[in-house]
């Protein structure tokens, strides 16, 4: 049977989500798919569009995974708008002149920003906020402007105002209605929101009806309002609502709503059985859904319907929202305004802390109908579940929003009360049952759950709730969510760190006596050794520390499968002189060591016996080498690219910076190993975005990336801050590393730490850049201590006869271990296999 032709018009968030879903559902067997994308690039994450201002690139925002289109044989026409649907002949015509025969069409054309037809609205520097191109235009205009005004004080308008503010413009918000965020919050909430936003230095003008835009005197434009007042501004950003893009449907004679929107039924089918509409262009039950989650639900329904699953229907979607606008938490649920007849309300307002909360409940006080939260939205997850699942309210519903004091248990309804069907993550439609299933499938931490279900990987708003469900489900399965590090200490690694730091504890025995029990084990000993080193930086082979070190630390080298060791001298930034290279070669030759260039831009020498280590290191230290800490949970390498000194594209000296950074942090012990890289330009030859700390040169300074990882589960680093000068860069890295050392779990790489950090990247920025916890200076001082007490562990070891004594195969003999045997391969040694060993022993 030949495949049916499916044409998807619009490759925005919902259109693309439709494509990924139909691919996942195996729909490619039935359909050959073509998609028209009017924009110059395939789908990207519009929800996080504002981060483009913060330095996220178009690539970062892209929603297209790998070579999605090619891999799945989907034809993508970029820069090509579908202009007409000829329903009679079943042909879609495009602006570039294509005419495609179709069996089915899916309209996912989204919406466009509404610009009120005020005279002067089309002057230059009057812009909108919807696409990457719009943002580029805003950035360009911002550079030539001092004052900016946003028309519209809704959700998007405030986001746009924040962007203007960040560009350093004097920022105004002009709202037609008497308060901000009319749709979501009530009067009390609106008033508080206004105060908070004004505190941030944004001027708010409500009840302002713009009548004309003309030439200004001080600024480019003058806005004239109906009440006679005026506002001068250089840039105007319209954010006065959205309108569905239904033109193509309208012209094809499909049914559209009175105020726009392509009418669909519960199956997402338009008035033509072969044409579907999903996302913001669709009108369901006379409603448009201006959020992405309902669009994704429609995409699922359309996929199901196209694949013959007729029972799948769209039955409306919840429009509750939670967001952070200019650092202010705002949330609204259901009937926030109390419009339901007979509805009762409770309000709580905390003036000094600028918190406002309100719940709307049913006449019989049984059900929650809606809520508004401003200033503190931590109750959102809970309230939303109570609302969505129709859970009966407790006797005193006000307990749901009143602050809990004196350790009283919260009146919050526990996640256990939620039904299996409760939707926890609306971005990816993940229910409590889905999370439970993932746990049954082996997931046991947030990272696993995210990977298995995608929960908390969209807007992130459900992260806290997802974690609660995870913990509760684990608990129910008898998995005691025990965070103790091991049987010997009833504490987490973070607790132990604080005990050591605050109690100035200097040895494992002291910590065990004061806070633990028994004798310790292979889990707590290295962890404590590592904490002691992070805090006090004493030599790890001090007699009191010797017994604590893991396999590799105890002999300052990585143990190989046959019990020999590897030797990795530090080659800061990967830069090495010919003289030093020769030394490495000579030493390797003298001791017959296997030699390899590592993935970390340095040289590894393998196959040294325990008793050879001090001699070999003495030679290396004499030649100016230091330990490379390849064995430690500590700073490994700072990779560099050749940078501006040689490379024709380099914009700054990446090698110099890499060397400085490596010398600054070498020797620092941390919960897990740390890798860095510095690239000289965005071509990124040093792969900095896969490192714990990555730095990339820009025209204006350095971009800092954090929490990247290669290894078992790769993670791209997040852009933490842009265009930093060297001093600030180093200050941030100092703080981030020490904060990580304070708060991470045992053997937790920065990537996993970040994925589990409550509040994520934003929170980390608050702690590091804004110094929200007031610990910035402390962290820097702690780092300064580590840096000032650095010594090469190998140098110190070979200078101390007591330490050298331990590097012997036998305490009572100079003999060698007869079980270490090598054979030759490609002109170098390698450990003999068991069979080869037998042969070698027999022939000896």
Partner 1 sequence: MSIKVEVCQLDDLVPYSGCCALVEGQQVALFRVDEGETVYAIGNYDPIGDANVLSRGLLAEVNGVITVASPLYKQHYCLTTGQCLDTENVRVPAYAVSVEDGAVYVSIPQADDKAKAA
Instruction: Write the binding mask 489 to 528 for partner 1: x where contact by CB under 8 A, - elsewhere.
Output: -----------------------------xxxxxx-xx--
The smaller minimum CB distance to ligand FAD, of residues 323 and 642, is found at 323
H or E segment and range at residue 42: none
Among residues 257, 710, 759, 760, the one that binds ligand SRM under rule CB under 6 A = 710
- Side by side, the strands of the sheet bearing 321-325 are 321-325, 328-334, 368-374, 355-361, 344-350
834 binds partner 1 (CB under 8 A): yes
38 binds ligand FAD (CB under 6 A): yes
The smaller minimum CB distance to ligand SRM, of residues 485 and 567, is found at 567
Name residues contacting ligand SF4, limited to 660-679 (CB under 6 A). Answer: 679
Helices (H) and strands (E) in the chain, counts: 26, 37
CB of 466 to ligand FES, least distance (A): 7
The interface partner of residue 679, options being ligand SRM, partner 1, ligand SF4, none and the CB cut-off 5 to 8 Å by kind, is ligand SF4
HSE-up (13 A, CA, CB side) for residue 654: 34
Give the pairing type, strands 75-78 and 344-350. unpaired
d(CA 636, CA 666): 7
DSSP bridge pairs for 322: 331
Is residue 4 within 8 A of residue 102, CB to CB? The reply is no
The smaller minimum CB distance to partner 1, of residues 71 and 522, is found at 522
d(CA 328, CA 762): 13
d(CA 479, CA 474): 5
d(CA 52, CA 43): 15
Q: How many residues bind ligand SRM (CB under 6 A)?
A: 20
Kindly state the tokens that stand for 764: 């980390």
82 binds ligand FAD (CB under 6 A): yes
213 binds ligand FES (CB under 6 A): no
d(CA 610, CA 814): 12
Kindly state the tokens that stand for 81: 């708008």
CB of 487 to partner 1, least distance (A): 8
CB of 75 to ligand FAD, least distance (A): 13
The interface partner of residue 520, options being ligand FAD, partner 1, ligand SRM, none and the CB cut-off 5 to 8 Å by kind, is partner 1
Residue whose token pair is 């200076």: 777
Is residue 522 within 8 A of residue 530, CB to CB? The reply is no
d(CA 138, CA 535): 47
Among residues 636, 669, 735, 765, the one that binds ligand SRM under rule CB under 6 A = 636
Closest of 435, 448, 446, 447 to residue 477, by C-alpha: 435
CB of 305 to ligand FAD, least distance (A): 18
514, burial (CB in 10 Å: exposed 0-12, middle 13-18, buried 19+): exposed
The interface partner of residue 819, options being partner 1, ligand SF4, ligand SRM, none and the CB cut-off 5 to 8 Å by kind, is partner 1
558 binds ligand SRM (CB under 6 A): yes
Instruction: Write the binding mask 684 to 723 for ligand SF4: x where contact by CB under 6 A, - elsewhere.
Output: xx--------------------------------------
The interface partner of residue 573, options being partner 1, ligand FES, ligand SF4, none and the CB cut-off 5 to 8 Å by kind, is none
d(CA 281, CA 247): 10
603 binds ligand FES (CB under 6 A): no
d(CA 322, CA 318): 12
DSSP bridge pairs for 284: 264, 287
Among residues 19, 161, 293, 685, the one that binds ligand FAD under rule CB under 6 A = 293
d(CA 51, CA 49): 5
d(CA 834, CA 838): 6
CB of 823 to ligand SRM, least distance (A): 19
Residues that bind ligand FES (CB under 6 A): 425-427, 455-462
Residues that bind ligand SRM (CB under 6 A): 558, 560, 566, 568, 596, 598-600, 602, 604, 630, 636-637, 673, 675, 709-712, 749
Residues that bind partner 1 (CB under 8 A): 487-488, 518-523, 525-526, 543, 546-551, 554-555, 559, 561-563, 805-806, 808-813, 815, 817, 819, 834
Residues that bind ligand FAD (CB under 6 A): 9-10, 12-15, 36-39, 46-47, 49-50, 81-82, 108-110, 129-130, 156, 159, 245, 248, 279-280, 290-293, 295, 323, 459
């Amino acid at each position: 049977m030949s495949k049916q032709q499916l044409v998807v018009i619009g490759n925005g968030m919902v259109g693309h989500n439709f494509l990924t879903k139909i691919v996942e559902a195996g729909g490619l067997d039935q359909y050959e798919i073509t998609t028209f994308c009017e924009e110059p690039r395939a789908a990207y994450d519009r929800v996080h569009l504002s981060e483009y201002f913060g330095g996220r690139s178009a690539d970062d925002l892209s929603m297209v995974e790998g070579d999605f289109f090619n891999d799945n044989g989907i034809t993508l026409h970029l820069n090509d708008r579908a202009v007409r649907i000829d329903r009679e002949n079943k042909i879609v015509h495009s602006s570039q002149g294509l005419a495609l025969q179709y069996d089915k069409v899916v309209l996912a054309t989204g919406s466009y920003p509404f610009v009120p037809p005020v005279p002067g609205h089309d002057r230059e520097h009057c812009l909108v906020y919807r696409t990457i191109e719009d943002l580029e235009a805003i950035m360009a205009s911002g550079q030539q402007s001092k004052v900016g005004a946003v028309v519209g004080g809704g959700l998007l308008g405030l986001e746009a105002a924040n962007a203007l503010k960040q560009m350093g413009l004097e920022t105004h918000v002009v709202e037609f209605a008497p308060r901000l965020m009319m749709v979501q919050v009530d009067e009390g909430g609106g008033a508080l929101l206004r105060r908070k936003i004004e505190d941030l230095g944004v001027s708010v003008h409500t009840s302002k009806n713009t009548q004309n835009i003309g030439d200004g005197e001080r600024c480019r434009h003058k806005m004239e309002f109906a009440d006679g007042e005026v506002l001068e501004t250089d840039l105007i950003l319209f954010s006065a609502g959205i309108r569905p893009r239904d033109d193509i449907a309208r012209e094809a004679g499909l049914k559209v709503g009175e105020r726009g929107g392509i009418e669909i039924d519960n199956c997402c089918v338009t008035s033509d059985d072969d044409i579907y509409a999903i996302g913001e262009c669709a009108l369901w039950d006379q409603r448009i859904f201006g959020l992405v989650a309902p669009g994704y639900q429609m995409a699922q329904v359309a996929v199901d319907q196209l694949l013959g699953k007729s029972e799948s229907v769209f039955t409306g979607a919840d429009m509750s929202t939670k967001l952070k606008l200019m650092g202010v938490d705002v949330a609204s649920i259901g009937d926030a305004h109390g419009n339901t007849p007979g509805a009762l309300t409770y309000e709580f307002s905390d003036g000094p802390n600028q918190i406002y909360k309100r719940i709307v409940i049913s006449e019989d006080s049984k059900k929650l109908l809606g809520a508004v939260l401003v200033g503190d939205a931590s109750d959102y997850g809970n309230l939303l579940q109570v609302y969505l699942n129709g859970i009966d309210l407790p006797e005193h519903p006000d307990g749901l929003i009143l602050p809990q004091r004196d350790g009283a248990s919260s009146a919050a309804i526990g996640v256990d009360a939620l039904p299996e069907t409760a939707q926890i993550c609306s971005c990816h439609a993940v229910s409590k049952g889905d999370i439970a299933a993932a746990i049954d499938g082996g997931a046991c931490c947030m990272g696993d759950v995210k990977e298995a279900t995608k929960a908390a990987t969209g807007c992130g708003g459900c992260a806290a709730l997802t974690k609660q469900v995870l913990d509760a489900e684990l608990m129910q399965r008898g998995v005691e969510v025990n965070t103790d590090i091991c049987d010997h200490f009833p504490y987490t690694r973070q607790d132990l760190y604080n005990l050591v730091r605050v109690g100035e504890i200097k040895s494992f025995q002291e910590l065990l006596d004061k806070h633990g029990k028994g004798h310790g084990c292979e889990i707590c000993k290295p962890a404590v050794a590592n904490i002691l080193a992070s805090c006090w930086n004493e030599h790890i082979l001090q007699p009191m520390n010797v017994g604590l070190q893991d396999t590799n630390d105890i002999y300052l080298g990585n143990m190989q499968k046959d019990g020999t060791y590897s030797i990795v001298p530090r080659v800061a930034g990967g830069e090495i002189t010919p003289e030093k290279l020769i030394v490495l070669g000579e030493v390797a030759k003298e001791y017959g060591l296997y030699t390899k260039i590592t993935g970390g831009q340095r040289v590894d020498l393998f196959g040294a016996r325990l008793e050879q280590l001090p001699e070999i290191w003495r030679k290396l230290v004499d030649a100016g080498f230091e330990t490379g800490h390849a064995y430690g949970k500590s700073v490994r390498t700072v990779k560099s690219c050749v940078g501006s000194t040689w490379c024709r594209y380099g914009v700054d000296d990446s090698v110099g910076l890499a060397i400085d950074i490596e010398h600054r942090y070498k020797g620092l012990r941390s919960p897990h190993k740390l890798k860095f890289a510095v690239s000289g330009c965005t071509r990124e030859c040093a792969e900095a975005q896969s490192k714990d700390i990555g730095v990339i040169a820009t025209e204006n300074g350095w971009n800092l990336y954090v929490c990247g990882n290669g290894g078992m589960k790769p993670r791209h680093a997040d852009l933490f801050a842009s265009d930093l000068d060297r001093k600030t860069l180093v200050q941030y890295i100092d703080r981030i590393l020490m904060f990580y050392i304070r708060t991470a779990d045992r053997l937790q790489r920065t990537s996993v730490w970040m994925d589990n950090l409550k509040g994520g990247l934003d929170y980390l920025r608050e702690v590091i850049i804004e110094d929200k916890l007031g610990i910035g200076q402390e962290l820097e001082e702690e780092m300064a201590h580590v840096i000032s007490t650095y010594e090469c562990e190998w140098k110190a070891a070979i200078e101390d006869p007591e330490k050298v004594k331990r590097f012997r195969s036998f305490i009572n003999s100079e003999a060698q271990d007869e079980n270490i045997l090598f054979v030759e391969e490609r002109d170098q040694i390698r450990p003999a296999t068991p069979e080869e060993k037998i042969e070698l022993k027999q022939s000896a």
